[in-house]
Amino acid sequence: MTWLITGGAGYIGSHVVKAMTDAGESVVVLDDLSTGRKERLPDGVPLEVGSVLDGELTGRVIERHSVTGIVHIAGKKQVAESVARPLHYYRENVEGLRTLLDAAVRADVARFVFSSSAAVYGMPDTDLVTERTPCLPLSPYGETKLAGERLVAAAGAAHSMATVSLRYFNVAGAVSPELGDDGVFNLVPMVFERLEAGESPRVFGADYPTADGTCVRDYIHVEDIASAHLAAVRRLTDDTTASLVLNIGRGEGVSVAEMITVIQDIAGRADLVPEVVERRPGDPARVVASAGRIREELGWTARHAVREMVASAWEGWRLRHL
């Protein structure tokens, strides 16, 4: 088996590459290096530089490396940017996927793992989100992920391809500083940035219908995300008829206020008092996974707690920014 990992030089992709190579899987990476960095790849992992939108290139890569399965992680992932640039998001995330699937089908690749997101659920009206909870995405980003899942399932059924779509909840942390996230668009790095500037962290709304009034999320260590991909790949190695959609979460809700307390503690800036500001438009009050189906289907559960996520993210942040 050789697995093609698209987006393998990115934050999540490079963790998946590490988990898979550590476990003895043969991998090749396709990445356009728009946000990825080749320094994130372990020695010896082949890197093909290019876009999934280039069907001829992906066809050649699949053939050259005798690829037997694909883990498709490449994509655009910023909710606000997707509102400003929906055409760009549909092109990159949906047309990119369609082009890749087309190349995969032409080359008889029989296994496909797709990176989806809890963004497909939108504003779920339930304590624990199961894979049967209705999907009503609130942003073009979430729509492209839902469209992607449906395309993956339909193409899998039509072309005898076993598929798994993995819905990531709120990813944080890193296994080592060099694999950390460079972006600053999520809670953990946004709070780091404020603390570093000597400013109070900002809480986007404290009047939500939750225990402390702040939004509740299911934060998951990127190393756990990576081990879930390994479990999916192993499943598809044996099971060539699978068609699965699975949450990757811990099943535990953590509020923004609780998260900020942990972040300040780890960053040694508990002195700064968080400031409550306006709600951010479109934020659901609570999005927490039911992690039951992935445990049943793949035998996978998360191992890392919130403190470890934040501590590992802080280590990388310090090295890169201070």
Least distance (Å) between residue 187 CB and ligand WQD: 4
Answer yes or no whether residue 217 interacts with ligand WQD by CB under 6 A. Answer: yes
Residue corresponding to tokens 């500001």: 277
Least distance (Å) between residue 241 CB and ligand WQD: 28
Answer yes or no whether residue 186 interacts with ligand WQD by CB under 6 A. Answer: yes
Per-residue b or e along 1-39, where b marks 16 or more CB atoms closer than 10 Å to that residue's CB:
eebbbbbbbbbbbbbbbbbbbeeebebbbbbbeebbeee
Interface residue with ligand WQD, options 37, 91, 159, 202 (CB under 6 A): 202
> Which window, 38-46, 81-89, 112-120, 129-137, contacts ligand WQD (CB under 6 A)?
112-120
Least distance (Å) between residue 214 CB and ligand WQD: 7
- Alpha-carbon distances, residue 283 vs 21, 182, 186, 206 (angstroms): 37, 23, 12, 12
Least distance (Å) between residue 190 CB and ligand WQD: 4
Which stretches within 200-255 are classed as H helix?
Answer: 222-238
Strands 216-217 and 254-255: antiparallel
Least distance (Å) between residue 91 CB and ligand WQD: 18
Q: Measured from the CB atom, is 137 or 156 closer to ligand WQD? A: 137
Q: Is residue 141 flagged as an active site residue?
A: yes
Answer yes or no whether residue 196 interacts with ligand WQD by CB under 6 A. Answer: no
Catalytic residue, chosen from 11, 89, 121, 141, is 141
Interface residue with ligand WQD, options 102, 126, 204, 252 (CB under 6 A): 204
The amino acid present at 170, given as its one-letter code, is: N
Site string for ligand WQD, 46-85 (x = CB under 6 A): -------------------------------x-x------
d(CA 30, CA 298): 26
d(CA 31, CA 193): 28
Least distance (Å) between residue 168 CB and ligand WQD: 6
Rg (CA), the chain: 19
Q: Measured from the CB atom, is 41 or 254 closer to ligand WQD? A: 254
> Which window, 65-73, 114-122, 175-183, 230-238, contacts ligand WQD (CB under 6 A)?
114-122
Q: Measured from the CB atom, is 1 or 83 closer to ligand WQD? A: 83
Strands 2-6 and 219-221: unpaired
> Which window, 62-70, 88-96, 128-136, 182-190, contacts ligand WQD (CB under 6 A)?
182-190
DSSP states along 67-117: --EEEE------HHHHHH-HHHHIIIIIIHHHHHHHHHHHTT--EEEEEEE
284 and 135 Cβ atoms separated by less than 8 Å: no
Q: Copy the structure tokens of residue 112.
A: 């496909």
Give residues 222-261 in contact with ligand WQD (rule: CB under 6 A).
256
At 247, is the secondary structure helix, strand, or coil? strand
195 and 267 Cβ atoms separated by less than 8 Å: yes
d(CA 178, CA 40): 7
Answer yes or no whether residue 175 interacts with ligand WQD by CB under 6 A. Answer: no
Residue 205, φ and ψ in degrees, nearest 5: 100, 130
Answer yes or no whether residue 119 interacts with ligand WQD by CB under 6 A. Answer: yes
Answer yes or no whether residue 12 interacts with ligand WQD by CB under 6 A. Answer: no
Least distance (Å) between residue 310 CB and ligand WQD: 12
Catalytic residue IDs: 141
Interaction site with ligand WQD (CB under 6 A)? 77, 79, 117-119, 168, 170, 186-187, 190-191, 202-204, 215, 217, 256, 280, 283
